[in-house]
Amino acid sequence: MEQLVKTEKVVTNFYTYEGVVKALNGVSVEVRKGETYGLVGESGCGKSVTVRSIMRIVQSPGRIEDGKILLFFSDTDRNQAVDILKRSEAFMQTIRGNEISMIFQEASTSLNPVLSIEYQIGESFRLHRMPEILRETIDELQANLDKKKIPFVSGWKKFQISLFNRQKETLENYERLIDSIEFQLAELEDDGTSKNRRLKDELNRKRDMLRKDDRLVMFFRRFPFLRRYYRRINPVIHRKVVNLLKELGVPNPENIARSYPHELSGGMQQRIVIAIALACHPRILIADEPTSNLDVTIQAQILDMIRVLKETTISSVLFITHDLGVVAEICDRVTVMYAGDTCETAEVKELFQKPLHPYTKALLRSVPKVRQEEALATIPGVVPNLVNPPTGCRFHPRCESAMDICKREKPPLFTYAPGHTVSCHLYTSKEAKS
Amino acid sequence: MISIEKTIDADVSINIFLKTEKNHVNLLNYIIRRLLLMILVLFGVSLIVFSIMMIIPPGQRVAIYVKSEKVTPAQMEALIEKYGMNDPAPIQYARWIGNIFQGDFGYSETAKGPVIEGFKQYFPITLELVLLSTPLIILVGVWLGTLGAVHKDKPVDHFTRVFAVIGYSLPTFWLGLMLLMLFYGLLGIFPPGQISNVGKDVISSPEWNRVTGLICLDGIINGRWDIVWDGFYHLILPAFNLVILSCALILRLMRSSMLESLGQDYIRTALAKGADRGTINRIHARRNALIPVITISGLMFAGLMAGMVITETIFNRKGIGLWMARAALQLDVPAIMFNVLFLGTIFAVVNLIVDILYAYVDPRIRLT
Amino acid sequence: MSTELKQKTTKKEGFLSHPAVKEFTFSAKRFLKNPLSIIGLTIILIFALIAIFAPVLAPPEDPYDPFKIPHDGWKTAPSPPSPEHPLGTMEQQYDILYGIIWGTRSAFKIGFFIVMANLFIGIILGSLAGYFGGWFDEIIMRITDMFYALPFLVMAMALVVAIGRGLQSIIIVMIILGWPTYTRMIRGEIMALRDKDFILAAKAGGAKSLRIIIQHILPNSIYSVLIVASMNIGTTVLTAAALSFLGLGSESGYADWGQMVSMCRDWIVGPPDNRLAYWYVVFTPGFVIAMFVLGWNLLGDAARDVFDPKMRRK
């Protein structure tokens, strides 16, 4: 299968007052087209930081230090990769919410309490579908204008159309120019001569100079009363929002759109969060424990919804959870993480039947089964403090089959079978084999 | 095309209907209830003020009715008897309240006339200063606070923090005196008072059409732009003094609440949506950050009143503040009582407006 | 012997590794790393030293009335700094330096006394109102509402005049008018804690009300209250100085900063040939007040940033 998103040895640190938290210790994951990919681990193992690194929304004091995050989004060339760590923030803004979307753990805090649902969903459209919205607004205005002609009002309407047109053109121009500059920058990346650097600086400056908005339009939008003309786009956005909610099977979409987050139930809030993420039909949806704080019944509904959506709208889902039951239910492939390291990656069935890494084994043992006779197994010890992580393999202090080498060296990635990789000294070092 | 119906959140629709149907009725009810409560609070305030005033011996209180220099103790006694100042406190209180309801607030020695006349004369001078400085305080405070939070730990942030802590620590009277010393004393500009002597002649002449009492506004109405400038010229230093001292409070609060707001989960959602920094700060963070600022602005108003007393004293502007200061110093009881009640009313009204504004900005708050 | 020693050391380590102690040392370290808090601390320490060593720095003429500023003749106009009067003299030749040194004692006295008294009243009324709620709470809160609606400065002025001018009266009046703020604050803190799980747990464990307040609620809410109180020492001194400035303080010549500023009001503008001739009378006392207040504010600010867990991790 084709790859869609791939990270290579990503290192992310948090610079806190207690010290540097080494949250990601060279994480490599790969999401392929058309699959649901799971990321499993205890809380604090770096799952969320991994996906936030992929979105490049690691918030201060965190920083992505090293590695590559590659996106394979080109429709023509399957192997053409874009390393987003080398791209500008402006480029990332065109990707986020558009090509990659994300839903979060706590829907209630993820929604802005003072903005209406309609605004919050509509913002996705405003950010990524503005030319389309403007075109529709212009069409509507034009139709309105053609229907009946009143001398003075028609002139004002014509002026509005010209304003919207200006805005649309500037925006399209902006997007085109950003694209071309980004492309040139990407071309320049390879050799580090001083001439190249100068060119790069110039391009960067040029990009920063680009304006998203026309000056005249800005004036009209800033000026009280005059800016009322801009409300013309609201019905268009409203229509889009209601359509989206209908598509997602939300009952009573008109009312929901008009309400505020606190008026909705937890399940409905999570659906709104999903709606925000899906507004622009992303290629990949990242779900960061979307069901953790929900009732079991609602949880099932949300999982159902994601599964159906995956079949119809989005091609891939990156699903984060600490719940192995959910993994078994929804994922195709899964990676187990521990303390900022990836332990093991495999197809779900394979992982459950033939776990290789001691941590995976322990994790599976600690899941209660229906016909359980003996006491539930636990993993001794606690998740290490990542300011001073254990040397070598980070799991070794809690590992039942730890060896001397585990304290010294970080285990390399070992391909046990096609599609099943593990990083553990048990399978690579001489010590274990002897 | 996708069908995930199943649960219909029944509570959702009910909530929405409640909200849309009853909003107007609620608001009106709420305002009426608050106004009734306000009367209760004012009643309490009047009691407190009155009991404080009862500490003063009757001889001192009656002094404001004494017209001539030579008064024998016997005459004094007669006066005290005449105005009933030896009566039991409840009776005196009832008499005072009764007079208020008849529109008689008494005679003010410091205003050299009935309290109401003094109020009409002094209030516009203060109002002018309030109208100029309050918007500035709020705008500057919110703007600098946002700036500091957005550029946390950058030079801008350090600058605004230092500005805030200095503004918070400077004594109002000292800053006023220093401003006066530098600008008026050294440079000879921005004199104290409310208007120049030439202007005073103009506005006290019979042709002058005194509509509002606000010098600048009346100047516009009378078409005398020199008077408008004259009034404004005298407003600059006092307004500057008030702004420096009062906007520090808003700045600090705005900065910390903006920082808190910027750390919330919904900011992350907006980031993941692809919103740029400007949009996030302007729309997602600032509206939330304004909520605590709005709640504190009622308190700021109380601080502004204290600042007004001192500022008007220093800059010798004959407004409510100066009047109150003089009334308190000379124990002009009717003037003190009236002004305290008046400010209490204003304070309650400001708080009512603040609460309504609060509910407007924060949809989670329902006025009940 | 050796085992005893060992036990002792482990005990000590145990004490140091107690979460609360660790938390405190961690906070204190951060507090000392912050340049602003260092500045604040230095300012306050300097003022404290001045207050303590006032008799050494400026020996009083009359040991029984040290707050009386000595004056050098009766000339009205202030005289500029000279070797005899390093900071110059005010009108009637009161020595500014002496006034500032002994005024430091007045300032600490005013600040501590008022804030302590208010805190005392506030803790008692606030914790009772917050913990028990009901009609007691209702009454206390309505009274504070009324006090909030009073214009503080005007009321304070009238009250001081009514009971007789002077620094003593200012202190008394500021206690009478100041307690509602603290009561409200403490009540709010306690209300927030009252329904927390650990309080419910203590209740379920059968603890008595008073015991819950003293042992569980107050220690948890006192931190933030103390920080606000420390910041208020500055503002309290400021307000008291404002009252003195308005002419309500002690008789002229008393070592009190506000009083000194009020004495300078006639000397803002110098003679025509030198408009700034008397700058030192206006500038010096006010500047000292500003520094004193600044010190407390910086200290309180930094303490809040460091000790308030909500502010810290940002």
For the stretch C85-98, pLDDT in tens is 777 777 777 888 88
pLDDT at A1: 62
Residue B19 has a pLDDT of 43
Q: What is the pLDDT of residue B65?
A: 65
CB A124 within 8 A of CB A99: no
Backbone angles phi, psi at C203, to 5 degrees: -65, -45
Which of B41, B122, B173, B330 should one mutate to test binding to chain C, selecting the residue with the greatest count of C CBs within 10 A?
Answer: B173
ipTM rounded to 2 decimals: 0.85
Among B329, B343, B348, the residue with its CB nearest the CB of C247 is B329
Indicate yes or no: CB of C149 within 8 angstroms of CB of B169. no
Task: Verify whether the Cβ–Cβ distance B310 to C148 is below 8 Å.
Answer: no
Do A16 and C313 count as a contact with CB atoms less than 8 A apart?
yes
Report whether pLDDT(C312) > 70: no
CB-based contact, C31 to chain A, within 8 Å? no
The candidate with the shortest Cα–Cα distance to B180, out of C88, C278, C235, C157, is: C278
CA distance A346 to A349: 8
What are the beta bridge partners of residue A420? A417
Q: Mean of the pLDDT values across residues C29-35?
A: 77
pLDDT of residue B145: 92
Query: For residue A11, what is the enclosing H or E element?
Result: strand A3-16
Q: Of the ranges A83-97, C158-172, C205-219, C227-241, which one carries the lowest mean pLDDT score?
A: C205-219
Bridge partner list, A417: A420
CB atoms B274 and A259 under 8 Å = no
State which residue of chain B sits closest to C142, comparing Cα positions.
Answer: B41
Average pLDDT, chain A: 84
**Given this model, what pLDDT does residue C16 score?**
61
Chain C residues inside the 8 Å CB shell of A16: 313
> Shortest CA distance to C232 belongs to which of C140, C106, C117?
C117
- The angle subtended at Cα A185 by Cα A179 and Cα A187, nearest 5°, is 105
Q: Chain C residue closest to B60 (CA)?
A: C162
Taking a C-beta distance cutoff of 8 angstroms, is the pair A240, A122 a contact? yes
> Confidence class of residue B199 from pLDDT cuts 50, 70 and 90?
confident
Q: Which residue has the tokens 């003075």?
A: A152
A57 vs B11, B13, B272: nearest CB: B272
A109 and B361: CB-CB below 8 Å? Answer: no
Beta strand pairing call for A316-321 and A36-40: parallel
Whole-number Å distance between alpha carbons of B237 and B315: 8
d(CA A27, CA A357) in angstroms, rounded, equals 16
Residue B10: what pLDDT? 36
Q: Identify whether the C-beta of residue C55 lies closer than 8 Å to the C-beta of residue C104.
A: no
Q: Can you give the pLDDT at residue B364?
A: 78
For A67-115, what is each residue's pLDDT tens digit? 888 888 877 777 777 888 888 888 888 888 888 999 888 888 899 998 9
Q: What burial class does residue A118 get, using C-beta atoms within 10 Å of its C-beta: 0-12 exposed, 13-18 middle, 19+ buried?
A: buried
DSSP string over A131-185: HHHHHHHHHHHHHHHHH---HHHHHHHHHHHHHHHHHHHHHHHHHHHHHHHHHHH
| Per-residue pLDDT band at C170 (split at 50, 70, 90) | very high
How far apart CA B169 and CA C300 sit, in angstroms, is: 12
All residues of chain A having their beta carbon less than 8 Å from the beta carbon of residue C29 are none
Average pLDDT, chain B: 82
Listed residue (B310, B313, B125) closest to B231, CA to CA: B125
Nearest chain C Cα distance for residue B324, angstroms? 7
**C235: nearest CA partner in chain B:** B169
Name the H helices within chain B: 10-53, 58-62, 73-82, 89-101, 115-150, 155-169, 172-179, 197-204, 215-222, 225-262, 265-273, 277-279, 286-315, 320-329, 333-361
Backbone angles phi, psi at B249, to 5 degrees: -60, -50
Contacts of C30 in chain A (CB under 8 A): 17
From chain C, pick out residues whose CB is under 8 angstroms from the CB of B48.
146-147, 150
Q: Which helix (H) or strand (E) holds A287?
A: strand A284-288
Q: Using CA coordinates, name the residue in chain C closest to A59.
A: C314
Whether A152 contacts chain C with CB within 8 A: no
pLDDT recorded at residue B14: 37
Mean pLDDT (chain C) is: 80
Residue of A106, A260, A262 lying closest to B265 (CB–CB): A106
Q: Which two tokens stand for residue A245?
A: 């909610």
**Rounded Cα gap, residues B335 and B106, in angstroms:** 8
Residue B328, chain C, CB below 8 Å: the answer is yes
Give the model's pLDDT for residue B11: 37
Rounded CA separation C215/C164 (Å) = 42
Residue C6 has pLDDT above 60, yes or no: no
> How would you classify residue A372: left for phi > 0, otherwise alpha for psi between -120 and 50, otherwise beta?
beta
CA C15 vs CA A356, C2, C8, C21, C29: distances in Å = 43, 20, 10, 7, 18
> Residue B2: is its pLDDT beyond 70?
no
> CB within 8 A of C32, min separation 6: which ones?
C38
Chain C positions touching B180 (Cβ under 8 A) are 268
Alpha helical stretches, state H, A189-295: 194-209, 215-222, 233-247, 253-258, 266-278
Q: Which residues of C touch B56 (CB under 8 A)?
A: 162
CB-nearest to C157 from B41, B173, B325 is B325
| pLDDT number for residue B5 | 35
Q: What is the pLDDT of residue B9?
A: 38
Percent of chain A with pLDDT over 70: 97
Answer yes or no: is pLDDT of B337 > 80.
yes
Q: How many Å lie between the alpha carbon of B39 and the closest alpha carbon of chain A?
A: 33
Interval B132-142: pLDDT, tens: 998 899 999 99
Q: Does C146 touch chain B (CB under 8 A)?
A: yes
Residues 154-213 of B with CB under 8 A from C: 161, 165-166, 168-174, 177-178, 180-181, 184-186, 188
What confidence tier does C4 reach under pLDDT thresholds 50, 70, 90? very low
Q: Report how far residue C151's alpha carbon sits from residue C160's, in angstroms, rounded to the nearest whole number.
A: 14
Range ranked top by mean pLDDT from A78-82, A84-88, B350-354, C116-120: C116-120
Q: Which residue has the higher pLDDT, C114 or C226?
A: C114
- When pLDDT is averaged across residues C259-280 and rounded to a whole number, the result is 78
Strand-pair category, A3-16 with A62-71: antiparallel
Positive or negative, the CA dihedral C66, C72, C76, C81 is negative
State which residue of chain B sits closest to C238, comparing Cα positions: B171
Q: CA-nearest residue of chain A to B8?
A: A251
Q: Is B307 a residue whose pLDDT tops 90?
A: no
First to last CA, chain C: 48
Which among A140-149, B314-323, C84-93 has the top mean pLDDT? B314-323
Query: What pTM was computed for the model?
Result: 0.82
Of B19, B1, B3, B22, give the one whose Cα is nearest residue B11.
B19
Nearest residue in C to A60, CA atom: C314
Please give the pLDDT value at position B367: 65
One DSSP character per residue, C237-297 reads HHHHHHHIIIIISSSTTBS-HHHHHHHTGGGSS--TT-TTTTHHHHHHHHHHHHHHHHHHH
Contact flag B364-A96 (C-beta cutoff 8 Å): no
- Cβ of residue A415 closer than 8 Å to a chain C Cβ: no
For testing the chain B interface, which of C157, C181, C260 should be mutated: the one with the most B CBs within 10 Å?
A: C157
Under a CB-based contact definition with an 8 Å cutoff, are residues B129 and B239 in contact? yes
Task: Convert A35-49 to b/e letters by CB count within 10 Å (16 or more is b).
Answer: bbbbbbbeebbbbbb
Instruction: Please give the pLDDT value at position B68.
Output: 60
Q: With an 8 Å Cβ cutoff, are B363 and A113 in contact?
A: yes
Tell whether the torsion through CA atoms of B347, B353, B355 and B357 is positive or negative: negative
User: B236 vs B195, C44, C131, CA distance in Å?
Assistant: 12, 35, 49
Judge whether residue C75 has pLDDT over 90: no
Interface test with C, best of B150, B157, B174 (most C CBs within 10 A): B174
Span A52-62, mean pLDDT? 86
* A75 DSSP 8-state letter: S
Give C314's contacts in chain B (Cβ within 8 Å). 152, 259, 263
What whole-number percentage of chain C has pLDDT above 70?
90
Dihedral sign for Cα atoms in the order C43, C47, C48, C50: positive
Q: In whole angstroms, how far apart are CA B249 and each of A218, A378, B275, C115?
A: 33, 53, 31, 20
The full length of chain A comes to 434
Q: Is the pLDDT of residue C5 over 70?
A: no
A395 vs A315, A337, A428, C47, CA distance in Å?
34, 10, 16, 56
Pick the range with the lowest mean pLDDT from A16-25, C49-58, C280-289.
A16-25
CA distance B220 to chain A (A): 24
C204 Cβ under 8 Å from any chain B Cβ? no
Distance CA B49, CA C150 (A): 9
What pLDDT shows up at residue A414? 86
- For A29, A31, A85, A392, the CA distances from A66, given in Å and listed in that order, are 15, 20, 9, 19
pLDDT tens for each residue of B246-294:
888 889 889 989 998 998 889 999 999 888 888 899 889 998 898 888 8
Question: Which pair of tokens denotes residue B206?
Answer: 């019979």
- Whether A175 has a pLDDT exceeding 60, the answer reads yes
> Which pLDDT band holds residue C292 (cuts at 50, 70, 90)?
very high
Q: Which C residues 3-22 touch B at CB under 8 Å?
A: none
Q: Measure the CA–CA gap between C194 and A302, rounded to whole angstroms.
A: 36
Residue type, C25: T
Interface check for B51 against chain C (CB to CB < 8 A): the answer is no
**Which residues in chain B have Cβ-Cβ distances shorter than 8 Å to C282?**
174, 177-178, 181
Q: Which of the other chains make 3 or more beta carbon contacts under 8 angstroms with chain A? A: B, C
Which sign, positive or negative, has the C-alpha torsion C153, C159, C165, C170? Answer: negative
C307 CA: distance to closest CA in chain A (Å): 14
Under the banding of pLDDT at 50, 70 and 90, the label for residue A190 is low
- C25 Cα to chain A: minimum distance (Å): 12
Minimum CA–CA partner of A18 in chain C: C26
Of C232, C230, C221, the C-alpha closest to C189 is C221
Q: Is the pLDDT of residue C42 over 80?
A: yes
The DSSP string of A29-44 is -EEETT-EEEEE--TT
Percent of chain B whose pLDDT exceeds 70: 90
What is the rounded (10 degree) CA torsion for B9, B13, B14, B16? 130
- How does residue A363 score in pLDDT terms, banded at 50, 70 and 90? confident
Model confidence at A243: pLDDT above 80: yes
- Between B166 and C220, the more confident residue is B166
